[in-house]
Amino acid sequence: MGPEHLESPERITIIEKALKEASFKSKFIEARRATDEEILTVHSQGYLDTMYRSTGIARIKMTEDTSTNMFTLDAALTSAGGGIQMVENSKHNHGFSLLRPPGHHATQNAAMGFCFFNNIAIAANAIRDKYKKILILDIDQHFGNGTADIFKDDPDVLYMSLHADPQISYPGTGFASNVGIKEGLGKTVNISLPWKLKDSDYLVALDEIAIPISEQFNPDIILLSLGVDGLEDDPYGHLSLTTDVYYEIGRRIGDFNKRNTNNKVPTFFEGGYKYDLLGEATVKFFEGLLNPDGEERIKAELTPKFSYQLRKIKSIQRKHWIGI
């Protein structure tokens, strides 16, 4: 994307430094490149050929918001390969694919939203022989349109996204009425959140919709798209979350995972552009994930700002899930 772009290598540097200084220990492993065969489990041959043609060219504009440079293909293949590597080793350790570019906007045939290959979808397909039912939970504040589209008719993958209202937020899709199609009907859950939503309402969305549906789906493994662009004043964001809520999100996911699967949680880095809080929010998320029985820092409390939208989402999801 270029050094002047907010989706830059500095994001990785900031978070890596914060993880190395955190109270818990992290082991850093060099990522491998994905093979063409692994990429083609999600993306078309024509699109992969387009990416290969970008090598050695200073800049190619793929969409209005996304462009390549001569290093993009290598970075994208490594981001996808590192994700597979992480997921394949998720039995005993929580993993974090701290790689870029991100992936959840990339569709089968197109780059968009700073994403080139859909890392989490490629990783999910790489483990289908080991895990029948996969939950992909996306907490980036932007709807992961690429991931949702890839699995829209798949009954064994539940894609669940908590994101800002599509009427005001990129990519302009991800309405609550989008619930998947054909055999995948009901297996797409979009929890769209009002502008400037705060911590307590976000936790209500988790506690009253996301976790109860996840319990009913009963996944064999959870894959997580982690974006911290829900922080207040993120330059691409529309929510008003604090870093402490990421601790609470991590704690809830850790608790659910402990009770429902025999694996750890592989986490994929997506968005987050408020540089001064990137590291803090990420570390707090993992503190919560690693300590699901830890002390509560923020209470879930419904406010009038979210009450109407919450009722609307629940009314849609009750057609597919019991007791929502």
Known catalytic residues are 105
Q: Long-range contacts made by residues 303-311, C-beta under 8 angstroms, separation at least 24? A: 303/198, 303/200, 303/201, 305/194, 305/196, 305/197, 305/198, 305/201, 306/193, 306/194, 306/197, 306/201, 306/204, 306/205, 309/192, 309/193, 309/194, 310/204, 310/205, 310/208, 310/209
Residues in a beta bridge with 138: 161, 225
3-state helix, strand, coil in the chain (%, to 5): 40, 15, 50
Ordered strands of the 134-138 beta sheet: 95-97, 266-269, 221-226, 134-138, 157-164, 188-193
